[in-house]
Structure 1
Amino acid sequence: MTFGPKALRSVKARSLLWRNAMVTSQDLGLSIGSNPNEITPYIGLLEEEVKLEGIVTKTEVARSYYQLGKVYYDKADLIGAEESFVKALTFADPIKDGFSVLKTYGFLIRIASEKLEDAKAQKYIGESEKLMDALSRALPTLTSEFFYNLGVVKNYSGNFEEAKTNFELAYKKSNEENEPELLSKCLLSLATNAFYRKDLELSLRYLDQLNDLLKIIKKFYLSGAMYTYYAKIFIEMNENDKALNYYKLANEYLQSKKCWNLYGYILFGKATALKKAGNFDEALSMFHLAQESIDTTIFRRLNHLIEAEIDDVNDSTVDLYLDRTNRKIVERSLGTIDFKHRFVLLEILFLLSKNPGTYFDKEQLAKMIWKDEYNPLIHDKLIYTSVSRLRKLIEPTDADSKRKYIIRGKDGYTFNPLAKIRFHMEVKTNSERSIGNVDLSSPV
């Protein structure tokens, strides 16, 4: 393929535009958010011209494929993203383009993690470690960006304390070097690192600092990831309403930027928060919606998490879900039963269900439920009436003569130890760790 001087200048112009990630409709007739398939031919043109000395460099082509990969990635096309990132690696110089190569590896690790391709992820993690070692010897000075990337690589292998040390050093240096963009990534990485180390309060403090910084510099993807991590933390802290609000913010922000790769995870997070709040019917619907929103053959990790949660909510062997916080229970055949205005009945139910097989006599019930000394003239009828009302609420209407849940014996009342129950605080967030300790919302 040959070009005249004017065409060659056009090729060079396109390359420079891609290198700076500033493709506009005026320059190429499309935008960075356009269909990636419309963009690929331009990069193919650059690839053809890479052999023409002084026209297009390999670094420029690598940068172009990297930018194309990010477009695919944001659009949730992980196959297209992976192909573009792999091509970027073939043109990049590992030392000269070292930090860009590390970012490319980062995206490939996240994609492999999502696709549950462990061997491929471990390969890229190993390559990242080798490159960091080479850069430590080749670079004249070790900058904040070096220590940030070293922290990222340490995080891949689960060395969270070493990762933390390097992120802190990168944070300090980026402050000194006046690098606000890198500073913001350091804060998100420190928050993520603290989250993995279960230091939720520290993670929140880093996110609060990041939130303040992002009011000054506009980094939309970091904002979306920040809101997502806020939500994850509040789920762990059982503040589910806050979690739902932050997932809403994350979704609104990412949608406004036409970024779809986290949509399924946001729906999954919302469903998890609803489940932990005891809203099992809503949670189940949201889990199904999350599953319908993704390509399950590609987003395999997310699909695995969703299916595990659906199976858990749909566990047909559980007779009763008990939720003290929201004052409701879910009975397997009766559905949701509201106890908001039945405080005494709920207290009796929780006392008995927390101690299945243990009998409570009238004296104990009077003291533990009504905080009073037993008086037969007051408490006999009160106890009998309350237990009868409770039974009518929770016992299935088709139950036989034997009580399914609350049993009366000569020593008082007890909860059937054969009934399978679950308390909503026992519903744990599915914390199955991703390959390389990263997911699609982790900073690159």
Structure 2
Amino acid sequence: METQTQEETALRNELQERYMAKSSLLKEVDEKFAELEGDQERALGQGFYRLGKVYYDKADLNTAEDYFLRALDKTIYPKDAFAMFKCYGFLIRIYSENEREKDADRFIDLAYDLVEKLGSELGTLGAEYFYNVGMVYTYKGEFEKALENFKLAYKKAQTENEPELIAKSLYSTATASYHLKLHKETLSYLSQLSELLNILRKGYLKGSMHLLYGNLYKDMGNFSESLKNFDLAIAYLQQKNCWNLYGYILLGKGITYKKMGEYNQSLMYFKLALNTINSQYKRLRDLVATQVEDVNDSSVDLYLDRHNRVIHEKNLGSIDFKHRFVLLEILFLLAKNPGSHFNKEDLAQSIWKDEYNPLIHDKLIYTSISRLRKLIEPKGSNRKYILRGKDGYTFNPRVKARFHKEDDPKTKKVIGNIEISSPV
């Protein structure tokens, strides 16, 4: 009996060992299958993400949105945390352009929560983390904090030897500086980025860089460089078959020509932009439509641009006042006060900052008004703009005049403070 018991015990132990081995093997197989299934889901998500980018580049924002949402659905935290950031970024840009503020705000909040969560859980905070922190601060309009984090991302990306992330960090640092109107610093960062992109083959980023260059030079008044860079942006984006920025480049060129006082040329680019962009680009269409209205109101008789010292008369076209400072000041004084009369004493004090002296000012005033009329009054017509009454000179109140807006008109704020040209 004792021998049989020992045999039974040995057999039982052997069976248990076999069972444990089999269970371990089955568990390993199950884990492999689960891992394989997870990899398949992840691969599917990556495919959706790539398709989203393709449609985004082709300016089909609605289809791009659908694929980015599908890609996001396949992500798993924390393994895919930075992939989640990318999806959030594209969706925020799409919703900004669609003027869907609530949707944009929802994903901005998700991005902020993800940054907070990663910051507390990650042992080491690398370049990609700080880059995304910078993006979150950009969405919130806190550009100084965004700039700090982009600079940190740039330094860490250099240490980590991540050329693509170095390039993106440089671009975003330049963009944050541009928002803060740090033009000199923006030029410096763009110059560094330009050198790097001579090595990296990143056509889309090159196009975005030249678009930013174009807007920067436009704001600085260097119009020839602005137009040159807008053309370079078009060339690089054509090579990549990316059309989502084309309308913004045309808008930039139109505003540049407007600042130059070449209103017909600017109008051509604004209309081209309207004819080119699709209905999904609601924000862009609003911006362009506002510019068209500003330049092309057929009821406006006289368009006055003090900044560029150019006057656009409905029938005569553009009239250059760059070397006619006194005449321009007289015109602006009268045009800003239609129906109000200015006598010789008023003009002497307002224009020449002097007490009226008939020996000095009579001929000066008469000659100046005469020259001004010859410039702006249509040939062969009665006096239309500057009238003379018993109380002095006045600007005809029946005439419709419009004054150039010093700032580029914007119908609505940029939702999320992010441009569609900004890399994710």
Shift of 1:52: 9.1
Gaps of 5+ in 1: 1-49
Looking at structure 2, the residues matched to 101 and 238 of structure 1 have their Cα atoms a distance apart, in angstroms, of 40
What is the alpha-carbon distance in structure 2 between the residues aligned to residue 81 and residue 123 of structure 1? Answer: 18
State the match for 2:159 in structure 1.
Answer: 176
Q: Are positions 1:395 and 2:377 aligned together? A: yes
Following the alignment from structure 1 to structure 2, what is the Cα–Cα distance between the partners of residues 363 and 54?
Answer: 85
Change (3 A) 1:352 1:389: closer
Partner of residue 233, structure 1: 216
Residue 348 (structure 1) aligned to one of 323, 327, 332: 327
Q: 1:435 to 1:368 in 2, by over 3 A?
A: closer
Which among 89, 110, 119 is matched to residue 72 of structure 2? 89
Selected match of 1:124 from 101, 104, 107: 107
The equivalent of 2:7 in structure 1 is none
Contact conserved, 1:95 with 1:138, CA < 8 A, in 2? no
Moved more, 404-413 or 187-196: 404-413
Alignment of 1:196-207 (within 5 A): 196-207=179-190
Provide the TM-score with structure 1 as the length reference: 0.77
Q: 1:212 to 1:381 in 2, by over 3 A?
A: same
CA RMSD of superposed structures (Å): 3.3
Where 1:216 maps in the other structure, the secondary structure is: coil
1:440 aligns with 2:420: yes
Name the structure 2 match of 1:253: 236
Q: Distance in 2 between matches of 1:239 and 1:418?
A: 37
| Structure (1 or 2) with the greater helix fraction | 2
1:307 aligns with 2:289: yes
Over 3 Å counting, the alpha-carbon distance change for 1:53 and 1:144 in structure 2 is closer
1:329 aligns with 2:329: no
**SS of structure 2 residue aligned to 1:338:** strand
Percentage of identical aligned residues:
45
How far 1:292 moved relative to its partner? 0.7
| 2:85 corresponds to | 102
| CA deviation string 1:124-172 (max 9, x = no partner) | 1111122222222332311111111111112111222222221121122
1:395 shift after superposition: 2.2
Matched residue type, 2:387: I
Counterpart in the other structure of 2:12 = none
**Structure 1 match to 2:319:** 338
Asked whether the 8 Å contact 2:171–2:209 carries over to 1, the reply is yes
Note the alpha carbon deviations across 1:80-135, whole angstroms, 9 max, x for none.
21111111111111310111110111001111111111111111111112222222
Unaligned segments of structure 2, at least 5 residues: 1-32
* Counterpart selection for 2:261 from 265, 275, 278: 278
Distance 1:196 1:363 in 2: 43
1:322/1:328 contact within 8 Å kept: yes
Contact persistence 2:262–2:318 (CA under 8 A): no
Give the match's secondary structure for 1:407.
strand
Offset from partner CA, 1:35-77 (integer Å, 9 cap, x none): xxxxxxxxxxxxxxx9893795322211111111111111111
The question of whether the paired residues in 1 share the 8 Å contact of 2:341 and 2:392 is answered with no
Q: From the superposition, tell whether residues 241 and 413 of structure 1 become closer, same or farther in structure 2 (CA, over 3 Å).
A: farther
Aligned length: 386
Q: In structure 2, how many angstroms separate the alpha carbons of the residues matched to 1:413 and 1:131? A: 66
Does the aligned pair in 2 maintain the 1:276–1:425 contact within 8 Å? no
Indicate the residue corresponding to 1:217 in structure 2: 200
> Could you say if the C-alpha distance between residues 363 and 434 of structure 1 is closer, same or farther in structure 2, counting changes exceeding 3 Å?
closer
User: Structure 2 CA distance, aligned partners of 1:118 and 1:301?
Assistant: 11
The structure with the largest alpha-carbon Rg is 2
C-alpha spacing 1:165/1:337, structure 2 compared with 1 (3 Å):
closer
Contact 2:214–2:229 (CA under 8 A) maintained in structure 1: yes
For the structure 1 residues 434 and 425, does the alpha-carbon distance in structure 2 shift closer, same or farther, using more than 3 Å as the test?
A: closer
Shift of 1:259: 0.9
